[in-house]
Amino acid sequence: MDVLLNEIIFIAMAVTLGGLIKGLSGFGYAVVSTPLLALIMPVQEAVAFMIIPLMAANVELVAEADREELKHCLTEFRGLIASMMAGVTVAMLLLSWMPVRPMEMAVGLISVLFVLSRTPFASNHFERLKDVCFRTWEPLIGLFSGIIYGASNVGVATVAYLKSMGIEREKFVATLAAIILGISIYRVALAQQLGLFTAPENILISAGFAVPAVLSVAVGKRLAGRISDNLIEQVSLATILLIGLRLLIG
């Protein structure tokens, strides 16, 4: 990937916009930034490029967590984590040889489905689904979540599962961040082995964009209290929907 000045500006915009939305709403980083980058580079490269900025955005959350509580949560969800690792491996192996256009459409579809999952209709059905014994299906849910996350950076399935367990917010945020951080470290190494970073310097460029990623999330958090939650949700989902439809249409 030959990174020109206009591409660098666009990448900075994509990373910053995703970070702002993440900071404002608590979700949507990958589902904004990855599809945006897929507009100017092959989706396989976009997925790989965002791994390090996503990882950096979760470091602070893990650092702030209570060590004993975090250790307990990670032990409790070790089955989920193991099956997610398997799913991520499968997805990234597929990324290394899948044609670009089907992958673009897949990421676009995931983005649209993410928006639909936030509608009242979907939320009501999810509440009913929570009554089902999710623990019985944990390995399958982890595998599915890992495949989706590995192929698109979107962790909505993991978020939904952890939320269904009724974990208090602080533990939920820390547990999710720790899972994403650990899996992301593995993904960087795997992406390098599979050639998804198409040039050696791309890893350094991706690492460089971790800085605006972290800063934009921090700015978003500061702005969150000054803007209506409903407005933030609507603007965030509208942005994700438009990007997803653009990738689907081509």
| pLDDT score for 121 | 64
Give 221 or 213, the one with higher predicted confidence: 213
Q: In terms of pLDDT, which residue wins out, 39 or 137?
A: 39
Does residue 237 surpass a pLDDT of 50?
yes
Q: In which band, very low, low, confident or very high, does the pLDDT at 14 lie, cut at 50, 70 and 90?
A: very high
Q: What is the mean pLDDT of residues 101-125?
A: 73
Mean local confidence (pLDDT), 104-115: 78
- pLDDT > 90 in the chain, percent: 15
The answer to whether residue 66 scores a pLDDT higher than 90 is: no
Say if residue 2's pLDDT is above 80. no
Task: Kindly report, residue by residue over 171-197, the tens digit of the pLDDT.
Answer: 877 888 889 889 999 999 999 888 888
CA pair distance 113, 139, nearest whole angstrom: 22
Give the pTM: 0.78
Instruction: Say if residue 245's pLDDT is above 50.
Output: yes
* 10-16 average pLDDT score: 92
Place of tokens 């962790």: 155
CB contact at 8 A, 165 and 134: yes
Q: What average pLDDT does the structure give for the chain?
A: 81
Structural domain spans, the chain? 5-249
In the numeric block, which tokens belong to residue 26?
């608590």
3-state secondary structure the chain: CCCCHHHHHHHHHHHHHHHHHHHHHCCCHHHHHHHHHCCCCCHHHHHHHCHHHHHHHHHHHHHHCCHHHHHHHHHHCHHHHHHHHHHHHHHHHHHCCCCHHHHHHHHHHHHHHHHHHCCHHHHHHHHHHCCCCHHHHHHHHHHHHHHHHHHHCCCHHHHHHHHHCCCCHHHHHHHHHHHHHHHHHHHHHHHHHHCCCCCHHHHHHHHHCHHHHHHHHHHHHHHHCCCCHHHHHHHHHHHHHHHHHHHHHC
For position 124, what pLDDT does the model report?
A: 59
Report the distance separating Cα 231 and Cα 57, nearest Å. Answer: 23
If 0-12 CB within 10 Å is exposed, 13-18 middle and 19+ buried, where does residue 172 land?
middle
Give the pLDDT band of residue 37 (cuts 50, 70, 90): very high
How high is the pLDDT of residue 127? 54
